[in-house]
Chain A
Amino acid sequence: MLFNSIDFAIFLPIVFILYWFGANKNLKLQNLLIVVSSYVFYGWWDWRFLSLIMFSTIVDYFVGLGLSKQENKGKRKILLWTSILVNLGFLGFFKYYNFFLDNFITAFSFFGTKINANSLNIILPVGISFYTFQTLSYTIDIYKRKFVPTKDFIAFSAFVSFFPQLVAGPIERATHLLPQFYKKRTFEYSKAVDGLRQILWGLFKKIVIADNAAEIANQIFNNSSDYSGSTLVLGALFFTFQIYGDFSGYSDIAIGTARLFGFDIMRNFAFPYFSRDIAEFWRRWHISLSTWFRDYLYIPLGGSRGKVWMKVRNIFIIFIVSGFWHGANWTFIVWGALNAIYFLPLMLLNKNRINTDIIAQGKYLPTIKEFISMSITFGLTVLAWVFFRAENIGHAWSYLSEIFSKSLFSIPHFAGMRHAMITLILITIFCIIEWIGRENQFAIEKLGLNISKPVRWAFYYGIVIVIFTFMGPQQQFIYFQF
């Protein structure tokens, strides 16, 4: 079920009413309702793949219990690897099987050996990369004795399948989300209103910014050989806002929806395009995934300790794996490696933690230095997104070579210029609102809270009108494919 669909607009109030009026006196019943509604939410897309979530839930539940009872180191390791192999096995098969097969065939044919093997027609189950990482965090934390496993199977199932963040995150940690299923939830008015406000902003980002930008970015990227360098820059810019609006919009709706049910889930985006360096960007972009890799891959590898080559190796590993997590294509790997290259000088010069505060905190405008740093970081990010969006490495290269040609200085032109201009105006307004609200959890969190209700409501109605007036053609969330 898509968040930006009428199906969800009907589904959400029904579950909300049942949750607070039908099941509010019984915690188990509330959790069970979450499990059932999450399965309905997921099954709306394809019910057959529910079996994967259920299987993963059962395996990790029993592995967790087994780990808590087992003191023998070897046996504990076996249990942990069972969970890792099952989860990553599913992920590997559904997401990477064809990629590895095709690359093996290419590699062998390079050495003169011809292999006859056919790719399989595999459907990638929506959200598999997200919920497998979430359940993995559970077993790894229990293995490290950071967390006591639950005996409550329903609470655990609800944790794995919690519908607001099931298909595209934020990737929650068991230590943070699971305990919330043990406690009785009481309805908090301010939290629910806050949640609604965040949902509204998320819908604006997705429907107005991402969907409109997507139409233009798709047109330019899909026919890139026909366009000048300046038009291709526009295409990359639109994709930059498409992916941000799409993914952070999804996260906002997820967090807001969770708040309606009394849950707090982690922040996933913190105004990343206002970052002053790449290190700051990565602290602000897809936070739940970056911290997951930091805690479960980077730190176990040694992190930033050790010799220089170790640091370099670890940085490359984490960025390349992170790129590969996004999809089975070399473009994602190069995107990851490019970010590692961006990041490396900062880390080697020990300057990766200089921008930990909010840019221009308490001020209206950034300093010139801050503005330049922000613009450079933004430019580097746009450049990297070309690899992320391109069909293959060749496409990315030809796209970039055209950008860095003479045609960069021509006037951009393509069939959808009028639409592009309107979308650019919308993006500018969006950036201004985001800038104003950058010290909050999300841009409109506190916007207008100190003004009278009619004015505030008029502002919300204004957003609704803009959503309906400028809604782009409905597009699936990009991160559904990851």
Chain B
Amino acid sequence: MIIKFFKQIILFVALGLVGYIGFYYLLDKLYNSKSATDTIFIWGDSQAYRGINLKRMNELTGKEIYTAAQLGAGVYDFLVFTQSVPKNSEVIISLSKPTQLRRKEVDRNKSGISLKALILLYQNNYSFSEIREIIEKNLMPLRLFESNSTLYPDLDTLVLTESLSLFEKIYSKKPNYLDHKQKLYIKGIQNLKSKNCNITFIEFPYHAILTGIEKNSAVRSHTENFKREVANLFTNYKSDTINLNSPEMVMYDLTHLNQSGATKLTEELVSKMENSLITTMYIASNGKQ
């Protein structure tokens, strides 16, 4: 009797799993299957989500713009992104310092399930329970690429939601997971390279107050080394700046651009991208703001 019970359970679970995987695959295809032609894909965290004006970019390039940038996005989200973009795509990536420094457990990790990405995490010091939490967050397929984003409004004063001491604390000590995270980002970039993607990097500006803290911090050398590592992946690579210096406010808070800042950055970025033939890291600067 118990053997019959087990057989029935196994059959029920197996059928269910097959159905679930099929359902997941179909829905994922429906949500996230995009063409590489005349399309730009963006990845980053909240800095990229708030920092690029998708509508303006669409107007200027005439291309479809999809962003997978999400608030609090982390390395798992990046790995899934690199697997989801089609071959020969044009991608804009922002590997901000918070995406590297943020604690693993507060990373968003919500981009759908990718076995490949999960295995990579496991090979790079993620524990079973951390991986299990990621799976729990992604039991249903998600729309990874959005064609709309909400920009922060233009205000006369800076919005200060987090204390400076918090930033000082984050930048004061190199976290023990930083090397693993950076290694995983490198793997993601290599994946994009192997898919023959045209990659553009962008570093969004901080407010001048934060730049000061960050420049003298203990983690600075590690994030700068990471930039060099990224550069070394390409035979043709250059660094360029985007100047957002303006009499108007371009920052909404200490780390995010406002609507004017995002639009200005988008316009500058598009014009520079059109004239660039090699992989470029654009570093946006906001002058004294």
Q: A residues within 8 Å of B by Cβ?
A: 6, 20-21, 187-189, 192-193, 196, 457, 460-461, 464, 468-469, 471
Contact = CB atoms under 8 A, between A and B. Distances in A.
Nearest to B11: A457
Closest 6 CB pairs of A and B: A189-B1, A187-B2, A189-B5, A192-B5, A187-B1, A20-B2
A218 B97 CA distance: 36
Contacts of B222: none
13 contacts: A187-B2, A187-B5, A188-B1, A189-B1, A189-B2, A192-B5, A196-B9, A457-B12, A461-B16, A468-B139, A468-B140, A469-B140, A471-B139
A109 B15 CA distance: 67
Interface string B123-163: 00000000010001001100000000000000000000000
A6 B5 contact: no
Chain B residues touching A, majority SS: helix
B92 to A, nearest CB: 33
A448 to B, nearest CB: 15
Interface string B206-220: 000000000000000
Nearest to A24: B2
B19 interface: yes
A464 B16 contact: yes
A460 B12 CA distance: 10
Contacts of B19: 461
A425 B16 CA distance: 25
B4 interface: yes
A20 B1 CA distance: 11
Interface band, chain B:
10 to 19
B4 A189 contact: yes
Nearest to A467: B139
A388 B217 CA distance: 52
Q: Most chain-A Cβ atoms within 10 A of its Cβ — which of B5, B8, B9, B12? A: B5
A6 B129 CA distance: 10
Nearest to A10: B132
Nearest to B23: A465
B39 to A, nearest CB: 30
Interface in B229-277: none
Contacts of A457: 12, 15
Given A189-B1, A461-B15, 19 more contacts: A6-B132, A6-B136, A20-B2, A21-B2, A187-B1, A187-B5, A188-B1, A189-B2, A189-B4, A189-B5, A193-B8, A196-B9, A457-B15, A460-B12, A461-B16, A461-B19, A464-B16, A468-B140, A469-B140
Contacts of A20: 2
Contacts of B136: 6
Contacts of A464: 16
B249 to A, nearest CB: 30
A93 B29 CA distance: 57
Contacts of A192: 5
A222 B177 CA distance: 38
B19 to A, nearest CB: 7
Contacts of B1: 187-189
B32 to A, nearest CB: 18
Nearest to A460: B12
A193 B7 CA distance: 12
A20 B5 CA distance: 12
Interface in B174-202: none
A455 to B, nearest CB: 14
A351 B139 CA distance: 51
Nearest to A192: B5
Nearest to B133: A6
Contacts of A21: 2
Interface in B1-42: 1-2, 4-5, 8-9, 12, 15-16, 19
Contacts of A189: 1-2, 4-5
Contacts of A187: 1-2, 5
A193 B140 contact: no
Contacts of A196: 9
A468 B2 CA distance: 28
A415 to B, nearest CB: 17
A192 B6 CA distance: 11
Nearest to A260: B5
Nearest to B8: A193
Contacts of B12: 457, 460
A6 B137 CA distance: 12
A464 to B, nearest CB: 7
B14 to A, nearest CB: 12
B186 to A, nearest CB: 31
A5 to B, nearest CB: 9
A58 B237 CA distance: 73
A460 B19 CA distance: 13
Contacts of A461: 15-16, 19
Contacts of B5: 187, 189, 192-193
Nearest to A190: B1
Nearest to A21: B2
Contacts of B16: 461, 464
A188 B4 CA distance: 11
Contacts of A460: 12
Nearest to B9: A196
A391 to B, nearest CB: 28
